[in-house]
Amino acid sequence: MRIHLVNPSDISFGVAVITPRWLYVLASATPEQYGAPRLVDETLERFDPDIVAPGDVVGIGIHTANAHRGYEIGRAARARGAQVVFGGVHPTLYPDEPRQHGGAHAVVRGDGDLVWGSVVDDCAAGTLRELYEGGRVEGRSFFGGRWDLLPKDGYMWASVQTVRGCPKHCSFCSVWRTDGQQPRMRSADDVVNELRDLRSRGFRFCVLADDNFYPVTLNDLAMAKRRSDPTALQELEAVRRERFELMERLADLPDDMSFFTQITMEAAEDPAFLDAMRKARIRGALVGVESVTAEGLKSIYKDFNLAGDALVDRLQIFRKHGVHVLASFIFGLPTDTASTFDATAALAQAADVTFAQFVLLQPFPGTVDFERWEKSQVSPPTIDNVPLTRHWLLPTARRPKIYMPHPSLAPEQIREYTQGVWDRFYSLPAIWKRAQCIRSMKGRLAFVLISKLYRQMYANTGIATDSARHARANRMARLLARSVRRFFVTPVRPEALAAGPRG
């Protein structure tokens, strides 16, 4: 009985940007007696059903966007006589779907780290059950990845997780519902050992694939201090201490390693935390700005973010502490008007963020937004007999780009205005102005290249649909990965930190 783990993707290119962590984690969780699993990442190479023999186990991990391809693979593997098991965020939300559409014999909900071993044992014993509950594994029990199984030169950046779950409850995000609001932290030892392993394999730039690297804010601590029962405060302080301990350990790693993570903007109120990030060589972070208006933030339950001038100040603080910001904005919120797009473009430029992305609001399953939208679709329109509320069952090219009707803007207006904001933020003069924080001409030119590549890859609302565009996007991704790695490995110059962008 051979074990195969497959990460589905519509298009394969031979090289990918970030390691799909789940593949390597489940490989670690596979009991030794079954041998090393065969890993197939379809962003590198297409899955070939002929490699599967009757009785083999085929584990398929899907999120919503690649569910359609995952189901194709599941059906093909089942036709070969394999025992097919699905897991990942999407089956966690829709455990019946892989059986209906993907030829699944079994589905694992939640984390696979601890339960995968018994699933495989049951496959071997012929006692496979339809459903396994992996639950939310405690941080100390997370498995590292079996990086010895990495294909040579397959990936540009490695991904390591330090914490799962997020205490917030943004309406467009499923993380707090699937992974919980309690931060589950790995021990600093586990994280650092895994990073050392990756370094020995040549990785210098790692993505910390965390939901929210800053799970306890100063405000949380202040609120807990006001309570008569000190338990909550003690717990929060322990989490904070551990984050600092982890960053100290990262700082002790060889200084050719650097990191990128995801964080809420509240971290900007916490200079000690930002300084620790800089020392840990966390050179950049995706910050979910989402909306520049107070009404917009309120509508998505993210009013812990700031709006207007205060937002500009807050975002600028990151770079003053040596952390580049990739600011993420959402367009298509019900409160957006034509003027929101202009205001966002202006703010993104004023806030000294290094990169920005402008994504369209999408109702992802498991989110509050999705629930509301699904309820509002009493008899949803169908495409190829698939109701719009199950759009992921369609091939990518058949899926609409905008799902939720907007109270005042037509879908085409939203797309056109969004495109306009991308164009403004990534216009040559705007990029050149941002590049002034880099002293050397060579560095500035590299920054211009990175910015242009990033814009080409993600603008036009992101996801490429035909293979020519996919191929172009991937070539760019490779070039981008190489340039970004160089960019983040070079620290921001202290004088640039103090002065902010010049020119």
DSSP H or E segment with residue 122:
helix 116-125
Residues touching ligand B12, count (CB under 6 A): 38
Which one of ligand B12, ligand SF4, none interacts with residue 218, CB within 5 to 8 A by kind? none
Q: How far is the CB of 212 from ligand SF4 (least distance, A)?
A: 5
Asked if 201 and 184 count as a contact pair (C-beta separation under 8 A), the reply is no
> Which listed range, 58-66, 81-89, 166-174, 195-203, lies at the site for ligand SF4 (CB under 6 A)?
166-174
Residue in the block written with tokens 């650092």? 192
Q: Which stretch in 106-114, 181-189, 315-323, 377-385 sits in contact with ligand B12 by CB under 6 A?
A: 106-114
Q: Among 458, 448, 435, 221, which residue's Cα sits nearest to residue 359?
A: 458
Question: How far does Cα 429 stand from its chain's mean position?
Answer: 30
- 181: Cβ contacts below 8 Å, ≥ 6 apart: 165, 166, 167, 168, 169
The verdict on 358 binding ligand B12 (CB under 6 A) reads: no
Q: Which is nearer to ligand SF4, 60 or 170 (CB)?
A: 170
Is 168 among the residues that bind ligand SF4 (CB under 6 A)?
yes
Please identify, using beta-carbon distances, which residue of 176 and 341 lies nearer to ligand SF4: 176
Please give the C-alpha separations between residue 330 and each of 65, 280, 287, 292, in angstroms, as whole numbers: 18, 29, 12, 10
Binding mask 414-443 for ligand SF4 (x = CB under 6 A): ------------------------------
Question: CB 196 → ligand B12: shortest distance, Å?
Answer: 19
Q: How far, in Å, CA of 454 to CA of 461, rounded? A: 12
Cβ closer to ligand B12: 322 or 366?
Answer: 366
What angle is formed at CA 37 by the lines to CA 35 and CA 39, rounded to 5 degrees? 160
Cβ-contact 212, 266 below 8 angstroms: no
Interface region with ligand B12, contact rule CB under 6 A, candidates 61-69, 187-195, 290-298, 428-436: 61-69
Which one-letter amino acid corresponds to residue 58?
A: V
Q: Binding residue for ligand B12 (CB under 6 A) from 39, 47, 56, 64?
A: 64
Neighbours of 19 (CB within 10 A): 25
Residue 153, phi-psi category: left (phi > 0), alpha (psi -120 to 50), beta (remainder): left
Number of residues that bind ligand SF4 (CB under 6 A): 11
211 vs 360: CA distance, rounded Å: 20
Site string for ligand SF4, 238-267 (x = CB under 6 A): --------------------------x---
SS3 content of the chain, % helix, strand, coil (to 5): 50, 15, 35
Q: Which of 68, 69, 78, 90 binds ligand B12 (CB under 6 A)?
A: 90
212 binds, among ligand SF4, ligand B12, none (CB under 5 to 8 A by kind): ligand SF4
Site for ligand B12 in 290-309 (CB under 6 A): none
Interface stretch with ligand SF4, choices 164-172, 310-318, 355-363, 451-459 (CB under 6 A): 164-172
State which of positions 147-186 bind ligand B12 (CB under 6 A). Answer: 159, 161, 164, 173-175, 179
Question: Which residue of 1, 11, 18, 388 would you call a contact of ligand B12, by CB under 6 A?
Answer: 18
Contacts of 212 (CB under 8 A, 6+ apart): 163, 166, 167, 168, 175, 183, 262, 263, 264
Q: By C-beta, is 177 or 279 nearer to ligand B12?
A: 177
How deeply is 48 buried, as exposed, middle or buried, from its count of CB atoms within 10 A (0-12, 13-18, 19+)?
A: exposed
Q: Minimum Å distance from CB 220 to ligand B12?
A: 20
CA distance 113 to 106: 16
- Round to whole Å and give the CA distance between 457 and 470: 9
The DSSP call for residue 392 is: G
65 binds, among ligand SF4, ligand B12, none (CB under 5 to 8 A by kind): ligand B12
The contact mask relative to ligand SF4 for 200-239 (x = CB under 6 A, - = no) is -----------xx---------------------------
For ligand B12, the closer CB: 167 or 366: 366
Sign of the C-alpha dihedral computed for residues 258, 264, 268 and 272 taken in this order: negative
Q: Determine, following the binding rule CB under 6 A, whether residue 246 of this chain makes contact with ligand B12.
A: no
Residues that bind ligand SF4 (CB under 6 A): 166, 168-170, 173, 175-176, 211-212, 264, 288
Residues that bind ligand B12 (CB under 6 A): 18, 20-22, 25-26, 59-61, 63-66, 85-90, 108, 111-113, 116, 159, 161, 164, 173-175, 179, 209, 211, 359, 364-366, 462
